[in-house]
Amino acid sequence: EAGVAQSPRYKIIEKRQSVAFWCNPISGHATLYWYQQILGQGPKLLIQFQNNGVVDDSQLPKDRFSAERLKGVDSTLKIQPAKLEDSAVYLCASSWGNQPQHFGDGTRLSIL
Amino acid sequence: GENVEQHPSTLSVQEGDSAVIKCTYSDSASNYFPWYKQELGKRPQLIIDIRSNVGEKKDQRIAVTLNKTAKHFSLHITETQPEDSAVYFCAATPRYSSASKIIFGSGTRLSIRP
């Protein structure tokens, strides 16, 4: 089966600019997750969707981060405006039921 | 909330020897414990998982043990090979969340010496 697809793979922006990431989950996976992985740390959940509804966004910095999954399939994560501390890899994952999560390759974001 | 601690942060073993990574969790109601392997610049990949109704699970050279009383679980890799070099993350599901939410440890960088 095709895996979780993410784009772009790399992004470099200046602080205070905006950026958007895209994720296409595995076909049929109702649950979609966005994680932030800072260098040397484990992934930290930002937001979890069940179909097109938000299940958990308790760790999402809502003053600058937003995410949507309008049709319950693809999802976008946006940062506006970006700060230096947002430099990280942004991972998307998907799952079905209580089955394990499958991760995409991530987007490496560098803020100058 | 749930907290997962992982030790050691780095581990170097001779090829062919065994490697052990240990994790502790804080929520006694946690019921699912996956382990992920992440090679440099790659996605985390599930290598083994265990549920709270099982004390041990093995898959070829990899095994995981769970001690619910002590709230700790461990990954054991035997007969290590160069391709085992990677960062390994343990994780656990916290109690008051959807069944599929997991909290990750901080990772262990495993290096296999030839």
Pick the residue from chain A with its C-alpha nearest to B9. A40
- Pick the closest to residue A111 from A38, A4, A35, A25 (CA basis): A38
| Chain B hits for A105, Cβ within 8 Å | 42-43
Higher pLDDT, A63 or A2: A63
Is A100's CB within 8 Å of B104's CB? Answer: no
Measured CA to CA, the distance from residue A35 to residue A45 in angstroms comes to 4
Contact at CB, B43 and A103, closer than 8 angstroms: yes
CA distance to partner chain B, nearest, from residue A97 (Å) = 8
Residue range A57-103, pLDDT digits in tens: 999 999 999 999 988 899 999 999 999 999 999 999 999 887 889 99
User: In chain B, pLDDT over 90 holds for what percent of residues?
Assistant: 78
Q: Are strands A102-103 and B4-7 parallel, antiparallel or unpaired?
A: unpaired
Look at residue A71 and give its three-state secondary structure: coil
Reported as a pLDDT band with limits 50, 70 and 90, residue B100 is low
Sign of CA dihedral B88, B108, B10, A40: positive
Cβ partners under 8 Å of residue B39, min gap 6: B85, B86, B87
Contact status of B53 with chain A (Cβ, < 8 Å): no
> What is the per-residue pLDDT across A13-48, written as a single tens digit (0 to 9) for each?
999 999 999 999 999 999 999 999 999 899 999 999
